[in-house]
Amino acid sequence: MASGIFALLDDIATLMDDVAMMSKVAGKKTAGLLGDDLAVNAEKASGFVSSRELPVLWAITKGSFLNKLIILPLAFLLSAFFPVAITVILVMGGLYLAYEGAEKIFEYFFPHSTKAEKPKLEKLTEEEVLSREKEKIKSAILTDFILSVEIVIIALTSVEGQDLLMKILVVTIIALIATVGVYGIVALIVRMDDYGLKLIELNRENSFSDKIGHFLVNALPKVIKSLTVIGTIALLLVSGGIFVHNIEFLHGLFESLPGILVEFVTGLVVGIIVLLIIKGSSKVWKSLKS
C-alpha cells in the first residue's frame, strides 16, 4: 500500500516536472504576445479617473477569465478532432496582428486630422461617464479575446505530440499567466503615479522618497508610450513568426538572414498588404454609398 502511494507521488512529481519544462517552452513562444497583451491593456486601462482605474481593470480581468473559459475547451476539442482548424485560426489571427501592427505605424506617420475637432467642455452626467466606461471595457475584453485565442493556440502548438493531460495542464498554466500576470503588472503600471504622489506627500521636499515619487509620476506617460512601441514590434514579430512557421512557401526563405529580421519584415509586409486592402475596400464602399 505504502509503496503504491510513493509510486503515485513519484509519477505526479515527474508529471509536474514535465509540465514545468513544457510550460517554459510555451512561455518563450508566447512571450511576444504576452508583451503585446500587456502593452495593449495598459493603454486601455489608463485614462480613467484615479478612483475608477482598479474597478475598470478588475472588470476587464473578469472578462479575460471568461474569455479563457470559452477558448480553452474549444481549443482542446479542435486540437483533438479537427487539428487543421488550429493552423487556419492561427494564420487568420496572424493577419489581424500584422494589420494592427501596420496600422499603428501608419497612424504614427499619417495621424488622423484633428483640426475640426474641438475639445468638448460640457460636463458629463454620471450615467454618461459609466456608459463610456462600459464601452471601453467591452473594447478591451474584445481585444483580450483575440489575443487570448492566439496565445492559447501558440501554446497548444508548442506541446504538439504530447498527451491530452499534458496539453491541458501546460496551456491552462499559460492562460492563467496571461491573465493574472499581465493584469497584475497592468495594475501596478496604471497606479504608478498614485504611488508616486503618496511618496511625495510622505516626507519633506528633496528627500529620497520625494525624488522617487516625482520619478514615478513623470515616468508613467513614458512607460505607456514605450509599451506601445514595444507592443507594435511584438505584433509584427509574432505575426511574422506565425506566417514563417505555418506557411510552407515561407519555410527556409531568406535562410542567410537572421530569423528575427525575417519574421519582422514578413509581419510588416503582410500587415501593409492587409492594411491597403482594408483601406481600399473602405474607400470603394464609401464611394458606392455616396
What CA–CA distance (Å, rounded) separates 57 from 238? 25
Whether the CB-CB separation of 77 and 141 falls below 8 Å is answered with no
**183 located within any domain:** yes
**47 located within any domain:** yes
pLDDT band, residue 274 (cuts 50/70/90): very high
Is residue 28 over pLDDT 60? Answer: no
**17 located within any domain:** no
Q: Which of 10-19, 46-55, 180-189, 278-287 has the lowest mean pLDDT?
A: 10-19
Which domain covers residue 236, as residue numbers?
26-110+126-155+168-285
**243 located within any domain:** yes
Q: Between the CA of residue 23 and those of 49, 80, 93, 106, 280, what are the distances in Å?
A: 37, 20, 22, 36, 42
pLDDT band, residue 57 (cuts 50/70/90): confident
Q: What is the DSSP letter of 205?
A: T
**270 located within any domain:** yes
pLDDT digits (tens, 9 = 90+) for 4-16: 554 444 445 554 5
Average pLDDT, the chain: 76
**37 located within any domain:** yes
- Identify the CA nearest to 251 among candidates 238, 266, 237: 266
Total domains present in the chain: 1
**15 located within any domain:** no
**208 located within any domain:** yes
Give the pLDDT score at 189.
79
pTM check: above 0.95: no
**Residues near 186 by beta carbon (within 8 Å), at least 6 away in sequence:** 38, 41, 42, 45, 57
Give the pLDDT score at 195.
79
- Phi, psi for 257 (deg, rounded to 5): -90, 155
